[in-house]
Amino acid sequence: MDARRWKRVVVTGGAGFVGSHLCERLIGDGAEVSCVDNLVTGSRENTAALEQHRNFTFVEGDVSHSGTLAAIPGPVDLVLHLACPASPADYLRLPLQTLEVGSSGTRNALELARRDGARFLLASTSEVYGDPLEHPQSEGYWGNVNPIGPRSVYDESKRYAEALVSAYRRTHGTDTAIVRIFNTYGPRMRAGDGRAVPTFIRQALTGDPLTVAGDGSQTRSLTYVDDTVDGLLALAVSGSPGPLNIGSGDETTMLDLARQILDLTGSASTIEFVDRPADDPAKRRPDTEAARTQLGWEPRVECAEGLKRTVEWFARTGAL
């Protein structure tokens, strides 16, 4: 998706996995990008190549503090709000910070967009559907979330953020959009972030057993990071308010995913079954008809190819 219509863009969480790929695409399209990150889960290594570019500015700061975004000079014409711990290992370690960035952080990012009349896009998540009773999940489904369970700090943070974005649109006329991202993977994931793809790859490459939760029958729909970035920018350009699902229909069980990664790596690692986390969703697959019809978007990278690229990146960089 060509994003050359944007001149000055702010990306919160821009040193994270998806955020850094997004910054890279925007710089390539000629935008001036301010990347804001407190580096709690992001890394300057992800943006190191961009920091030599005259159109890229790195701002180390916490978006939950009002002064961080208010200090960014205007005018800004696009705010992409990705800041938030996104893996279970991170949001369970940082529960209060996760809730704060979904609330105060989202409001501060919205105020920046409101200040300059900018387009605003919230990176929400498939986790707003919880452990879904509807399959596949369409945008009209309200979800099945345990509001007091351990995962609720992330699920409810994003649900509140969606409500806040919608309220700004209705009350202030802010030009907002909501995207619900499904299980993105690819290069620059942290090996120890707790999500299945990097965990299985790390275990396979180091010869450790691949730890599959429960009996491995739970499913996820994996989306390669380039496709996710395409979807985010397509929604930003479209003017649609969303919410729109961005994800793949390529649904796989966790046990099959572990076996795929063993095949790709040629690893002799075994598979070990461990306890399944509380409130872990049994099924996850998006209905993406709205994204196809409204944005002309659909994923292009097949799961086998995306996993191959991701394994090669881990093996080449030694990021284990």
Catalytic site positions: 154
d(CA 293, CA 203) in angstroms, rounded, equals: 40
Q: At what angle do helices 254-265 and 303-317 cross, to 10 degrees?
A: 50
In the 8-state DSSP scheme, what is residue 11? E
Contact (CB, 8 A) for 287 and 137: yes
Phi/psi region, residue 224 (left: phi>0; alpha: psi -120 to 50; beta: rest), is beta
How many beta carbons lie within 10 A of that of residue 39, not counting itself? 14
Q: Which residues of 287-318 are buried (b: 16+ CB within 10 A; e: fewer)?
A: bbebbeeebebebebebeebbebbbeebeeee
In the 8-state DSSP scheme, what is residue 187? T
Q: In what order do the strands lie in the sheet with 176-181?
A: 56-60, 32-37, 8-12, 78-81, 119-125, 176-181, 244-246
Whole-angstrom Cα Rg for the chain: 19
Contact (CB, 8 A) for 135 and 264: no
Contact (CB, 8 A) for 72 and 59: yes
Half-sphere exposure (Cβ direction) of 112: Cα atoms closer than 13 Å? 33
d(CA 284, CA 301) in angstroms, rounded, equals: 19
Contact (CB, 8 A) for 228 and 184: yes
